[in-house]
């Protein structure tokens, strides 16, 4: 019993910490350190993730089935689009508001699942969507954001929804498949990102300072831990615990925007964040009610 409690405490801590660190480091790299080669940044992060998984497979003597590589091409393209638009949106939008706008992905996924898969949207689900939209509108009244930032945010919402839905179609709750999904999607994204970097990244060679190098390496390692702590938490936590974990994650990431980047701390923005967190909890409750009962955590 104590071992299970300890394991759950570890996975929750790793997930919340690594997710917040990933967002904070990416924001720091592109906004504070002003690193403009966004494609190159994602390439380095992808290579780090692939390298860590290869090292892990060698240490644990776990084989990676390269015959499965063909089924991950589309997923890799969608992941590339999601990561790049995520970087661009973070460059223009404060981190605390980014998490609010990101909630719109949930609404889009629900609509697409309704249209393509015939899934229902309950009254409670609609209430959570109204709260999500309201939180975004409240937050929008505080910070002045360039129009191009909204374009990148919309692109990120659509690419994220496409990635999640397509990955759901491919994935099974098998840990090796989850490992392969992370490995192959990152591996296959490197050639595409390299070409895009050559075409669109500024040709000026950035000054590789020690803070920049440490931040880039740290963001790649944090992204790795985020990917696998997500899979780990889904395996050992009940649906109730996992849903609440998502709401906690948004709270921590939003709070880090104020603490780390000294974003405007105003009552309207705090109200928007609280409404956004409430919307996530309502949506989690709705999701839990629609699922079959799980083993209590």
Q: List, for residues 142-190, the tens digit of each pLDDT value.
A: 566 788 988 999 999 999 888 878 877 776 545 556 677 788 888 999 9
Percent of the chain having pLDDT more than 90? 13
- Which of 177-181, 204-208, 262-266, 275-279 has the weakest average pLDDT? 262-266
pLDDT at 83 over 80: yes
Question: Residue 231 above 70 pLDDT?
Answer: no
Buried b (16+ CB within 10 A) or exposed e, 83-101: bbbbbbbbbbbbbbbbbbb
Q: What are phi and psi of 85, to 5 degrees?
A: -65, -30
Q: What is the CA radius of gyration of the chain?
A: 19
Instruction: Domain ranges for the chain, please list them.
Output: 14-290
pLDDT over 90 (residue 51): yes
Flag whether pLDDT at 202 surpasses 90.
no
Q: Which of 90, 84, 93 is nearest to 42 (CA)?
A: 84
Who has greater pLDDT, 282 or 174?
282
What per-residue confidence (pLDDT) applies to 239?
A: 46
Predicted confidence band at 293 (pLDDT cuts at 50, 70, 90)? very low
Say if CB 249 and CB 19 are below 8 A apart: yes
pLDDT score, position 296 = 41
pTM of the entire predicted model: 0.75
Q: Give the HSE-up count for residue 103: Cα atoms under 13 Å, Cβ half-sphere.
A: 36
């Amino acid at each position: 019993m104590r071992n299970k409690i300890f394991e759950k405490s570890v996975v929750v801590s790793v997930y919340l910490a690594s997710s917040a660190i990933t967002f904070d480091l990416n924001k720091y790299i592109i906004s504070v350190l002003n690193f403009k080669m966004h494609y190159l940044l994602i390439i380095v992060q992808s290579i780090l993730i692939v390298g860590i998984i290869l090292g892990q497979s060698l240490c644990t003597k776990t084989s990676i089935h390269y015959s499965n590589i063909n089924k991950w091409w589309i997923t890799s393209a969608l992941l590339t689009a999601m990561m790049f638009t995520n970087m661009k949106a973070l460059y223009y939008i404060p981190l605390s508001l980014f998490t609010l706008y990101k909630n719109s992905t949930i609404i889009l996924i629900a609509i697409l699942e309704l249209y393509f898969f015939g899934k229902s949207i309950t009254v409670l689900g609609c209430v959570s969507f109204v709260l999500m939209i309201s939180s975004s509108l409240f937050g929008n009244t505080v910070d002045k954001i360039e129009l191009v930032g909204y374009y990148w945010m919309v692109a990120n919402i659509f690419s994220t929804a496409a990635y999640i839905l397509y990955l759901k179609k491919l994935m099974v709750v098998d840990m090796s498949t989850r490992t392969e999904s992370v490995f192959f999607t990152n591996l296959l994204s490197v050639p595409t990102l390299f070409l895009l970097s050559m075409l669109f990244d500024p040709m000026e060679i950035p000054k590789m300072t020690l803070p920049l190098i440490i931040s880039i390496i740290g963001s790649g390692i944090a992204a790795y831990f985020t990917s696998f702590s997500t899979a780990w938490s889904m395996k050992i936590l009940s649906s109730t615990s996992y849903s609440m974990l998502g709401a906690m994650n948004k709270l921590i990431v939003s709070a880090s925007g104020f603490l780390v980047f000294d974003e405007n701390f105003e009552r309207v923005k705090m109200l928007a964040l609280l409404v956004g967190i409430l919307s996530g909890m309502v949506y989690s409750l709705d999701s839990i009610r629609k699922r079959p009962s799980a083993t209590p955590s």
